[in-house]
Amino acid sequence: MRMTDGLSPKERTGEPYIHLETGRVGWVDYLKGFSILLVVMMHSVLGVEEAMGSEGWMHVFVQTAQPFRMPAFFMVAGLFLMRSIDRPLDRYIDSKVVHFVYFYLLWLTIQFVFKAPGMAMDGGLAAPLIAWLTALVQPFGTLWFIYILPIFFLVTRALRRLPAAAVAIAAFILQMLPIHTGVVVIDEFASYYVWFFVGYAYCDHIFRLADLMRTRLPASLAFSAIALAAIWLFTEWTPGNGAAASQWPGVSFAVGLTGAAALIAICAALDRYRLARAIRWCGAHSIVIYLAFFLPMAASRVILVKSGLIDNVGAVSLLVWIAAVVGPAVLFLLVETTGYGRFLFERPGWARLKPSALQARP
């Protein structure tokens, strides 16, 4: 259903602004873009800092974004689930489970192609195979998001008949508990499911917030500036040399929610004036960047660090981050232009469930 900016919030019944030329929701793509860029920034900057043995000037951006980076990432992932939650079970599993299983297994294997030689040298010839099999139950590296997202989709469908407030409160309590089992799925589910569920269950409120911010940009942008400054203070404040205040139980949720709202305000402004469209493109192709950023990130880091041409940690971090984002974009455009390698970012027909594969219905 396509809508124009001339409709009132009541007429839209919570629907977002959808651009007629693309059929996509502009501010949501911007939000996805910021989320993926912040995630790639974290991996790029921390990797460079570890390799060079010190922190650079980009570390402050990674640190400030920490409380809301993944919350925004998961919140936007659940934002449109309300439209498909009651699909027939076979269609739901195909789009929400098999889809991500395909890309996880594919890119897990691609990553191991590059990592296998080093693994074999360190742990023997069997080490890569053992590590690959282990990754089927313990998500590997940067791909853990692709692994856990189908679990979020399945759990949410199973809980969809329960009162949303009750599920949200339970998820919030789970997020506050000190759960550190070492099992990635358990730990990350506890930490982030509340954000996915908030995106799903309270999507109308989020859309209305974006609409409100879009029509009150000066106040919204002022809020964003104040909010981000406050978040930075919370990440810097470590009473008694303990955990930062932004990581305290309960506080982390409030800070994450504030950061997500600040990002939404910025995205609403960018969308209204059609600015920084590269960020929107990144959001519309976020899975492309997420799946493929590891290789250009690692390659550029090795080249820049080993060469010693630049000794400024922040500058190296910035260049690695740019390479990690541009690399997947170039690969995607090559695939689109040549028609070769579409299976890298587009699920082929054989990897889809047929309508009769599952007979059960909700």
Residue 12 to residue 20: CA distance in whole angstroms: 15
> 293 near 285, Cβ under 8 Å?
no
How much is the pLDDT for 22?
52
| Angle (nearest 5°) at CA 273 between 269 and 274 | 105
Residues 6 or more apart whose Cβ sits within 8 Å of residue 26: 17, 18, 19, 271, 280
Q: Is the pLDDT of residue 349 over 60?
A: yes
Count of H helices and E strands in the chain? Answer: 17, 0
Residue 258 to residue 227: CA distance in whole angstroms: 7
* Helix, strand, or coil (residue 231): helix
Query: Packing angle between helix 251-273 and helix 164-176, nearest 10 degrees?
Result: 120
Q: Residue 73, Cα to own-chain centre: how many angstroms?
A: 4
Which of 2-11, 198-207, 233-242 has the highest average model confidence (pLDDT)?
A: 198-207
Q: Is the pLDDT of residue 7 over 50?
A: no
Q: Mean pLDDT of all residues in the chain?
A: 90
Residue 289 to residue 97: CA distance in whole angstroms: 20
Residues 210-266: pLDDT tens digits? Answer: 999 999 999 999 999 999 999 999 999 988 777 899 999 999 999 999 999 999 999
Residues 6 or more apart whose Cβ sits within 8 Å of residue 35: 69, 72, 73, 76, 263, 283, 286
pTM recorded for the entire structure: 0.90
Residues 291-300: pLDDT tens digits? Answer: 999 999 999 9
